[in-house]
Chain A
Amino acid sequence: MNLATTRFESARRVLAQPLFRALLALVIILCLGALFNAEGSFFRWETHRDMLRHISRYGILACGMTLVIITGGIDLAVGSVLGLVSVLSALLMIHWGWTPLAAVPACLMVGLCCGTTSGALIARFRVQPFIATMAMMVFARGVAKYISGGRKISQGVQTEDGFVYLDFPRFFDLLNARILGENIAVVTLVFLACALAAGLLLARFRPGRYFYAIGGNEEAARLSGVPVARTKTLAYALSGMFAAVAGICQAAQETQGDPEAGGSYELTAIAIVVIGGTNLMGGRGSMALTLVGALTIGYLEKILSLNAVGEAGRLMLTGFIIVAAVLFQRGKN
């Protein structure tokens, strides 16, 4: 009897765990996939590989978004920063022939600067995160259009002598490749590396702990000697840098830098974080939850497209499922 009660208790505690709930949501989606398997294509590895490749850029954005949301903020600028960096990296590596050893750090720096600016506005000048990052979203999009002249940056260049094709950088080829016997995309590995880095920061390093403390109770954190302004700025700076990583991947995958790229990606990134179960109020959540959230959103879209649900239906269903998943995860709390 006693043992049974204890078991029941511990089972209940596991059920209440956010990670368990997030996994349950993922399993439900997978079951739906197995049910509506589009004549068996859901059971082929290629389907999963392509889903992972497709979700990677969003996932990379979600890594930074997780950090920011845990501090109790939001970063709306990540989609635009992705667009800006995709243009910049294409410009540097395709048009100007920079080596990736110089171009990649330059791109990351630009992302970092965008994020640091938002962060400083929020932490030092007390602008609301929504407003500050919305301003950065608009500004970064403007810069992307300015440096690209409003055109896509690709191999083909119009010169006075006519149309010239430039070499496609090997770095982009590498990033766009599939390795291990064509079984996994390189961008997916980049995503996993980003998730690992963000996860380690949150769980193993002092600033990560401070993110939770600030999101949980900013005033208590401040009175405990936590450098609140510096820590918040760091969260947005890293979010900008992850967006830059995603921007380079975007350019490689699209084989061009599109100044319009990344529009509304920030919303997908937020959806991934929230579906994973990280609380928008801050102070709670983890990188593991975001990983599960990325898979959930990725499979959802994949299953809908496998079953040839049109875009209209797909969007409407996605809206429903986001709400359902969030309500489901909130449970009794």
Chain B
Amino acid sequence: MSVPLLEMKEISKSFSGQRVLQEVRFDLRAGETHVLAGENGAGKSTLMRILSGVYPEYEGDIVLNGTKLRFKSPQDAARHGISIIHQELSLIPSMTVSDNIFLARERTGRAGWLRFSREEKNCAALLERLGVAARAGTRVGEYSIGVQQSIEIAKALAFNARVLVMDEPTSALTEPEVERLFSVMDGLKQDGCGIIYISHKMEEIYRVADRITVLRDGRYIGTADRDDLPRDGLIKWMIGRTVDEQIHRDPQTPGAVALELERFTVPDPGGRPRPAVNGVSLLLRRGEIVGLAGLQGSGSDVLVNGLYGAYGPVTGGQVRVEGAVYRPRSPKYALDRGVALLSNDRKREGLVAPMSVTHNISLAALPRLSPGGLLRDALERNVAERRKADFGIRVASLAQAVGTLSGGNQQKVALAKCLEVEPRVLLLNEPTRGVDVGAKQEIYALMNMWTAAGIALLLITSEMPEMLALSDRILALHQGKVTAEFDRSNATPEAVLAASMGGTGKETP
């Protein structure tokens, strides 16, 4: 029991000069479930990608069963018995269960013939052993996400996986499916497998963990047996930072109600049965910043996208914008009513890379800037010049393609585009993601300026100090529901994080 099955020693990793993992260590014993915990961006996924051979370049050592190894590819890692169950399932829906399980490892006879019947027989035995309610010859797409997840596990086990990495495996499962998954995990532990389990759910962590390791900002913080690490201790390990004094906020006297949500519901965009946003009510006043705190899968980003109409007319509940009934339908509908969204994925959803800075800034406001359908170059240039000065956008020329700018400047262009539609409610999803320190400060200053002008801001950010310093009030979301509400007097990092992990936000000291 004391000899580790797997040891990762002093693992470091950099991406284009930026250190994302700094001498992290981790070990796994046979027959245990070891939870890997940390906030978004703590380095959990990077560490697991190194383990599974996705990133073959790293510093440090991986020792498996006493042998030092370096995996060159996911196939290489799988051959050594390391398997990852991803959040997004890697099954091919149009192929049968058996074909999926044996994909790229087909059982072939002489001359390369596939041995379908042997594959199906092996597969059926495996499914039976795991208690998976699926048939080898049925197409995977016909099963629910929960069953598919079990098939994914079966796929890993078919090749004698000894180390199983599960990244948020329950996010798509119903309650009975979760129970079945946990009993499968118990069986695996008895067979001597080691399970690395990543989760953001407090309940679950304490349900499955034998030991817990915490990472923070790419560093190793500590490892403890479950019973030696109380919940508030875990939260302390995960946060560890104090609020950054650098972030300045001028609170405004809140004005009239700008946005009102009543039992707002958004179905899961991936088609899972449980709504991603489930009966959220909130009030946002002019000049106010309300933060939506939540870890991965909390539904906060689905909430703002749904409110903006990005998924079409699928939302439920009541919404009012400045008192008028508002039914999210399309981005155009939202923009016409003064609701603008800054997407958290500016490359995919925010900017048109080959278009110029000017044309990106004017894009959403084009109906106003091109009266009669006729483009007015001078008008657009003036607008862009003004935004460039206000936002401190640094470009050689406004005619430059936006794809050639640095991250910070791209973000300012994306923000300028949102502001150009003269919004009354601004939904900001990760406004400082991928932005350097200087540009962050400028964006904070802009946010203060907007609220002073009476714009209402709904803020999502995965950086806790930012969330705490900027938000006048904070709603914590967990699995699509509000678990707690905070104002400046009681918003501590510990309480907000605990509520984001499913607590009520009141049990921590």
A-to-B contact residues, CB < 8 Å: 203-210, 212-213, 216-217, 219-227, 283-284
Contacts and interface: CB of A to CB of B under 8 A. Distances in A.
A220 B349 contact: yes
Given A223-B343, A225-B331, A225-B332, A212 B348 contact: no
A205 B334 CA distance: 24
Given A220-B348, A220-B352, A204 B341 contact: no
Contacts of B310: 223
Given A206-B367, A220-B343, A225-B335, 10 more contacts: A203-B375, A206-B370, A206-B373, A207-B373, A209-B370, A216-B352, A220-B351, A223-B308, A225-B367, A226-B332
B355 A224 contact: no
Contacts of A226: 332, 363, 366
Contacts of A284: 354
B417 interface: yes
A225 B367 CA distance: 10
B350 interface: yes
Given A213-B355, A223-B343, A204 B350 contact: no
Interface string B326-351: 00001110111000010100001111
12 contacts: A205-B373, A206-B370, A206-B373, A209-B363, A212-B355, A216-B352, A217-B353, A220-B350, A222-B331, A223-B349, A225-B364, A283-B354
Contact of B359 (A209, A223, A227): A209
B341 A223 contact: yes
B325 interface: no
A223 B373 CA distance: 20
Contacts of A223: 308, 310, 331, 341, 343, 349-350
B374 interface: yes
Given A204-B374, A207-B373, A221-B363, A283 B355 contact: yes
A212 B331 CA distance: 19
Contact of B348 (A206, A209, A219): A219
Nearest to B363: A224
A209 B353 CA distance: 14
Interface in B360-386: 363-364, 366-367, 370, 373-375
Contacts of B348: 217, 219-220
Nearest to A210: B366
Contact of B352 (A203, A213, A225): A213
Contact of B374 (A206, A219, A220, A222): A206
B363 A205 contact: no
A94 B124 CA distance: 73
Interface of A is mostly: helix
Contacts of B363: 209, 213, 221, 224, 226
Interface string B283-327: 000000000000000000000000010100000000000000000
A223 B310 CA distance: 7
A37 B416 CA distance: 56
A217 B374 contact: no
Nearest to B421: A225
Contacts of B343: 220, 223
Contacts of A219: 348-349
Contacts of A210: 366
A226 B335 CA distance: 10
Contacts of B308: 223
B132 to A, nearest CB: 34
A205 B375 contact: yes
A206 B372 CA distance: 9
Contact of A217 (B330, B332, B352, B367): B352
B351 A217 contact: yes
Contacts of B334: 225
Nearest to B371: A206
A219 B375 CA distance: 22
Nearest to B336: A225
A204 B348 CA distance: 27
B354 A216 contact: yes
B326 to A, nearest CB: 15
A204 B335 contact: no
Sorted from nearest, which 9 A-B pairs have the closest CB atoms? Answer: A216-B352, A224-B364, A225-B332, A225-B335, A217-B352, A283-B354, A206-B370, A206-B373, A216-B354
Contacts of B374: 204-206
B278 to A, nearest CB: 24
A137 to B, nearest CB: 29
A206 B375 contact: yes
A209 B375 contact: yes
Contacts of B367: 206, 225
A124 B16 CA distance: 42
Nearest to B418: A224
Nearest to A285: B354
Contacts of B364: 224-225
Nearest to A203: B375
Interface in B440-462: none
A67 B364 CA distance: 21
Contacts of A227: 332
A221 B353 CA distance: 11
B352 A212 contact: yes
A142 to B, nearest CB: 33
A279 to B, nearest CB: 8
Contacts of B335: 224-225
A212 B402 CA distance: 13
A212 B359 contact: yes
A206 B354 contact: no
